[in-house]
């Protein structure tokens, strides 16, 4: 008996484990900074520096990067900021037995708050989530049929699977420059800055990935010369860059996450020697997964009409990318002042974070419930308190439509703020118009019986000669031509020819005439 084999090598997500960690730290105000009278806002991010295994767990090292904007009693420079990092080390015990070929970790900052302990000390509390995920590599020889000349018959099955051809982490640096508008004074010192990605476009080409979009830069600075007061400036800076990526192809299904990891802004003089050029260097962190849909042919069943067969099989789990879609959610609401203050002269900057509170599967797809946490930084009429912050929370509910939902799926929903506009309306409240994108990727698990080996045994001729040569049979529910042929030691071709069948499907109750194969021989 000659068996056909084919090699398969597939990469797929093997496991995923999530832990939440709280960080608390009391921050001392640097000696060069004035006392804190009021905290205006805080922001932060998580940076992973190292991951390594220790026995049955993984150790993750990194830092929580924070930035705090505050008001001081300094008359000349009432607006100040503090930058810093809080290191952490987390030991994650694995709750799975699979041996992962590649382990990675992704960190996100879920919440950050700063409270004033005294004028020289700030209490910082943060909550972060670490997601440890591994990628398994299935590499083996599988049977895919054989030679049927020895009265042995093979049944193959073709399944659609997704193979992660490229799965890696990478970084790319973007360097751009922008010029202050003519109506703005030069920069004496940057007080506070924020940068986020906008209009990101990721395009795959052969052996490379193109990235383009905008760096939305907000800068608060002290003006030079006679304009030594707080100035604000916001501009979208377009960028384009390219990353070389072996085995990348345009026709692959891409799942590429791009995060802004680090931004440095350096002030430089222009041709006239004035500090009016902002040089921006940003580091983009990329998590790259490129999938290729393949049809895999495996040996699903085998039988002989003349011999016993010893069959060894195992159940193997494959993964198929079932669904990928980006759903848009539009939010329109107001954020109000609770204390009755209405001294807004101008909104100078707005930020928001999308927070998902609950996700559940239903018959239609995935129901997502969350909130848009908004902050509006505004200029007031008070010289000693030139800035204020208005915060608000806007709830949303959205169902991501997923066709043919089953319980045997894994999914991930990644929320992003696509665009937001803040408008100061009559009465001093702020209207928020925003668009949220929910990037959803769904994988289904396919479990298939795979035959690993087939060994010929003793002859069945003596036993088969005692059985009737021709029998009548009434088709039962679930019967196929293959299952009937296997049970009665005949062949599919024999049944079709003897009963003049032109179709593969059988009807329950249908009568068939079956001829034992050794009689046909």
CA distances from 471 to 136, 152, 492, 496, 512 (A): 50, 22, 15, 15, 8
Degrees (nearest 5) of the Cα angle 349, 261, 282? Answer: 75
Q: CA 486 to CA 152: how far, in whole Å?
A: 10
Tokens in use for 383?
């010289």
Q: How far apart are the C-alpha atoms of 9 and 163, rounded to whole Å?
A: 8
pLDDT the model gives residue 434: 96
**Distance from first CA to last CA of the chain, Å, rounded?**
19
d(CA 213, CA 388): 30
pLDDT tens per residue, range 285-313: 998 989 988 888 888 899 988 888 899 98
What pLDDT is stored for residue 340 in this prediction? 52
Residue 168 has pLDDT above 50, yes or no: yes
Give the span between the Cα atoms of 335 and 220, in whole angstroms: 23
Length of the chain in terms of residues written: 521
Q: What is the pLDDT of residue 98?
A: 45
**pLDDT-derived band of residue 12, with 50, 70 and 90 as boundaries?**
low
Q: Which residues have a Cβ under 8 Å from the Cβ of 71 and sit 6 or more positions away? A: 36, 37, 38, 40, 78, 79, 80, 385, 387
pLDDT at 227: 62
Helix (H) or strand (E) holding 92: strand 79-93
Enclosing H/E stretch for 495: helix 492-498
Strand pairing of 253-269 and 275-304? antiparallel
CA atoms within 13 Å, Cβ hemisphere of 422: 22
pLDDT of residue 518: 61
0.95 exceeded by pTM: no
Neighbours of 422 (CB within 10 A): 21
């Amino acid at each position: 008996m000659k068996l056909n084999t084919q090699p398969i090598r597939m990469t797929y997500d093997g496991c995923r484990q999530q832990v939440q960690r709280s960080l608390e730290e009391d921050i001392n105000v640097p000696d060069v900074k004035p006392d804190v009278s009021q905290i205006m806002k805080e922001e932060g991010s998580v940076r992973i520096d190292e991951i390594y295994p220790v026995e049955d767990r993984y150790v993750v090292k990194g830092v929580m990067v924070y930035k705090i904007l505050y008001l001081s009693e300094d008359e000349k420079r009432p607006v100040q900021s503090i930058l810093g990092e809080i290191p952490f080390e987390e030991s994650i015990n694995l709750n799975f037995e699979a041996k992962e070929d590649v382990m990675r970790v992704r960190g996100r900052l879920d919440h950050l708050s700063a409270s004033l302990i005294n004028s020289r000390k700030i209490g910082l509390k943060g909550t972060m989530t670490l997601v440890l995920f591994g990628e398994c590599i299935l590499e083996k020889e599988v049977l895919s049929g054989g030679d049927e000349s020895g009265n042995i018959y093979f049944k193959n099955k073709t399944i659609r699977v997704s193979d992660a051809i490229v799965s890696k982490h990478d970084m790319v640096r973007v360097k751009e420059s922008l010029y202050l508008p003519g109506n703005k004074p030069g920069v004496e010192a940057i007080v506070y800055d924020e940068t986020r990605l906008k209009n990101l476009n990721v395009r795959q080409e052969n052996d490379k990935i193109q990235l383009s979009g905008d760096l939305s830069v907000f800068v608060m600075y002290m003006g030079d010369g006679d304009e030594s007061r707080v100035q604000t400036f916001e501009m979208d800076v377009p960028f384009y860059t390219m990353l070389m990526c072996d085995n990348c192809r345009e026709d692959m299904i891409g799942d590429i996450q791009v995060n802004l990891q680090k931004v440095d802004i350096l002030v430089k003089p222009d041709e006239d020697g004035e500090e009016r050029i902002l040089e921006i260097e940003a580091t983009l962190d990329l998590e790259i997964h490129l999938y290729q849909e393949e049809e895999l042919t495996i040996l699903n069943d085998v039988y002989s009409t003349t011999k016993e067969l010893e069959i060894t099989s195992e159940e193997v789990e494959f993964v198929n990318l079932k669904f990928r879609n980006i759903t848009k959610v539009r939010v329109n609401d107001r954020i109000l002042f609770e204390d009755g203050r209405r001294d807004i002269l101008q909104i100078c900057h707005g930020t928001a974070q999308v927070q998902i509170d609950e996700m559940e599967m239903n018959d239609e797809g995935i129901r997502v419930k969350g909130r848009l946490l908004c902050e509006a930084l505004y200029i007031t009429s008070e010289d000693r308190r030139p800035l204020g912050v208005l915060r608000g929370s806007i709830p949303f509910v959205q169902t991501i439509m997923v066709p043919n939902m089953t319980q045997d799926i894994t999914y991930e929903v990644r929320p992003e703020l696509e665009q937001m506009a803040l408008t100061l309306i009559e009465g001093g409240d702020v209207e928020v118009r925003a668009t949220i994108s929910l990037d959803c990727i769904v994988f289904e698990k396919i479990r298939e019986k795979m035959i690993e080996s087939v060994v010929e045994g003793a002859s069945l001729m003596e036993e088969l000669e005692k059985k009737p040569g021709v029998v009548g049979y009434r088709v039962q529910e679930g019967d196929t031509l293959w299952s009937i042929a296997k049970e009665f030691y005949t062949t599919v071709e024999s049944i079709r020819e003897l009963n003049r069948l032109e179709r593969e499907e059988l009807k329950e109750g249908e009568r068939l005439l079956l001829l034992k194969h050794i009689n046909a021989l």
